[in-house]
Amino acid sequence: MSIRITTEILGELPKLSEIAISSSLTTSWIRGGDGLIGFGKYKSHSVRGPKRFADASLWWRNELSQLSIHNNVHGSGTGPILFTSFSFLESEESELVIPEIIVGRKGGKSWITWIGEEQQPSIGTRILEEQSLELNWGAGSVSEVEWQSRVSRAVEKIKNGDLEKVVLARDLSVATNREIDVQTLIQRLESEYPSTWVFLVENLVGATPELLVRLSKSLVTSRVLAGTIRKTGDEAKDLTLAATLAKSSKDLEEHEYAVRSVADALAPFCSSTNVPDSPFVLHLSNVMHLATDVTGVVNDSATPVDMFTVIKALHPSAAVCGTPTDDARDVISEIEGMNRERYAGPVGWIDARGDGEVGIALRCGQIAPDKKKIRLFAGCGIVAGSNPDDELAESQAKLLPMRTALTTL
């Protein structure tokens, strides 16, 4: 027996993060006011191992085969949606969620999708309750001093010719006096970081500036970030810093590795690709990044390109792992000293046609099941010219979005 799933046009909506529905918010993918949010869970599933992307694709296709889809809107992101959050390493669990109710908005058009025979769910505006959230900051898996020592070890390996670049991550743990209100947290992130993709999947929440891949019909896009400098808040000084970043040999070297890894991974799927000659400087509220948008036209073949196959080819990129990939992964396992879980893994959504947007889970935190703890993550690209003090400062800047959002709850 098929399960009915219906998609209908909606009228004008408040901000997606402010929408209230009877079921609790479970998933999110918002950028600049547009995106998708999900409420409740119709189905969820976990995958792990070397075939996790293929297993996720098989599970999604099987679930779609059991749905009777009535889509009166059409277009990318309409109809049933799978939210994905893959682990960095294949040995860890990756999470898949199909929400019961999905609300979407793009280019002034809004729609709702729900599963079941019931009438369209009613939508309201969520009223926030102001409560004081006490934060007790704990230590990470390794101390700041020890992490700097590990950066030094990585630089030594690079100078010895063991590899060209490696990304080292660190974490912080935070305990709270009450449950973390994840919808309010998303509102704060959406407000402060409108040019990022604000995501939520199985309690992994964050605001990533990096798009691993967008697939829309025959066009594939990937936004690559590597090379970072912290903002001062002074406009004139920040313009000078932006110019410095754009000319920094250390940051340009790091960025080149990341762009090259993405372009090489996309090439087999594309009849043509476009890789700009030089990066632009992406300005966020707390940091600036060197950024490059790599685009391509998907091969016109009888077999459609599967989004999961593209994700597998792209992950892990040099931006979150290093170069060469296998050597960098080995160094991470040897000296990083923590379990990344789903941090730096692919996160986003895929629709029934295979279109979707998947970012890299950066600037994020993993909320504990009791919602009274959260583990924050940040990582830095280490190359031959890296300095441990500078890398620590960069990691602190990358932790700031989540730290700030938590302190305003």
CATH number at residue 140: 3.60.120.10
Does residue 139 sit within a domain? Answer: yes
The span from the CA of 46 to the CA of 48, in Å, is 7
Residue of 370 and 319 predicted with greater confidence: 370
**pLDDT given for residue 176 in this prediction:** 95
Q: Exposure of 126 by Cβ count < 10 A (0-12 exposed, 13-18 middle, 19+ buried)?
A: middle
Highest-confidence segment of 224-228, 389-393, 405-409:
389-393
pLDDT for residue 43 is more than 60:
yes
Does residue 394 sit within a domain? Answer: yes
Q: Is 409 helix (H, G, I), strand (E, B) or coil?
A: coil
Which helix (H) or strand (E) segment holds residue 220: the answer is strand 219-230
Residue type, 369: P
Does residue 38 sit within a domain? Answer: yes
The span from the CA of 340 to the CA of 33, in Å, is 29
Q: What is the pLDDT of residues 346-390, one digit of tens each?
A: 999 999 999 999 999 999 999 999 999 999 999 999 999 999 999
pLDDT for residue 316 is more than 60:
yes
Q: What is the pTM of this model?
A: 0.94
pLDDT for residue 22 is more than 90:
no
Does residue 127 sit within a domain? Answer: no
**pLDDT given for residue 121 in this prediction:** 92
Provide the residue range defining the domain that includes 78. Answer: 3-118+135-407
Q: Whole-number mean pLDDT of the chain?
A: 93
Question: Domains in the chain: how many in total?
Answer: 1
> Residue 157 region, left (φ>0) first, then alpha (ψ -120 to 50), else beta?
alpha
Q: What is the pLDDT of residues 252-271, one digit of tens each?
A: 998 998 899 999 999 998 99
**pLDDT range class, residue 131, cuts 50, 70, 90:** low
Tell me the mean pLDDT in the region 178-191. 93
Q: Cβ(340)–Cβ(174) under 8 Å?
A: no
Tell me the mean pLDDT in the region 191-202. 95
The span from the CA of 199 to the CA of 204, in Å, is 8
**pLDDT given for residue 211 in this prediction:** 94
Q: Other C-beta atoms within 10 Å of 266: how many?
A: 22
Phi/psi at 196 (5° precision): -100, 170
Contact residues for 389 (Cβ-Cβ < 8 A; gap 6+): 148
Does residue 288 sit within a domain? Answer: yes
Does residue 310 sit within a domain? Answer: yes
Does residue 123 sit within a domain? Answer: no
Does residue 99 sit within a domain? Answer: yes
The span from the CA of 107 to the CA of 111, in Å, is 12
What is the DSSP pairing of strand 124-125 with strand 19-20? antiparallel
Tokens 């309690």 correspond to what residue?
A: 203
Q: Cβ(225)–Cβ(218) under 8 Å?
A: no
Tell me the mean pLDDT in the region 231-241. 92
**First-to-last C-alpha distance (Å) of the chain:** 45
